Amino acid sequence: MIAIIDYDAGNLKSVEKAFLALGEECVVTRDHDSIRRADRVVLPGVGSFGTAMQQLKKYELDQVIREVVQEDKPFLGICLGLQLLFEGSEESDGVEGLHLLDGEIVKIPEAPGLKIPHIGWNSLDFPHEGRLFAGLKEQPYVYFVHSYYLKAKDPSIVKATTEYGVTIHASVEKGNLFACQFHPEKSSTVGLQILKNFAEI
């Protein structure tokens, strides 16, 4: 069973549909016991960093997330769900993230010819081997929608990067904690392979 955390700030239905298309049993929930009982947990996210953290705390999901990550249960953050795993974000000064990983979330710098937010398909490079990307060809294309990006403190956890004026840390892995800045559920067959790899961990 895969628990998809519902905190009123996630792209829930498309994530659920993607896992169901893979034949995976999943539930969209904010019930603490259901999340604890799940074999794997997914934290989606759309919206602002500060509002999302407020919602997680409102439903006391921040502590449940820490529990399941501490148990080394496979956990996947998607888009804003990646950003929330880190210390904080320039988007919401003074708001502390879950800080399960070290790094900062900063605004994509403006540059000629680049539109912000970064919306659309972009290719991934793999600086280190990551379990989410098993079976994929080099430089696969995935779908992004974001204005802020991760600069991880420890480069060894960065399993995928993309270029958009700067080098964006697009995916991280540490133990059984995984996260993607892009949307695998909107990334066609490549994204389904990534979600399948997660479901098989």
Axis crossing angle, helix 61-70 with helix 49-58, rounded to the nearest 10: 90
Q: Is 200 among the residues known to form the active site?
A: no
Helix, coil or strand: residue 160: strand
- C-alpha distances (whole Å) from 61 to each of 36, 72, 75, 79, 179 are 11, 17, 14, 18, 17
Catalytic residue among 16, 24, 79, 118: 79
- C-alpha distances (whole Å) from 104 to each of 61, 82, 156, 168 are 22, 11, 15, 12
> Exposure string (b/e) for 158-177, b if CB count within 10 Å is 16 or more?
bbbbbebeeebbbbbbbebb
Q: Is 79 among the residues known to form the active site?
A: yes
Catalytic residue among 118, 146, 169, 183: 183
The residue behind tokens 């490549």 is: 190
Q: Nearest to residue 81, comparing CAs of 45, 56, 47?
A: 45
Residues identified as active-site: 79, 183, 185
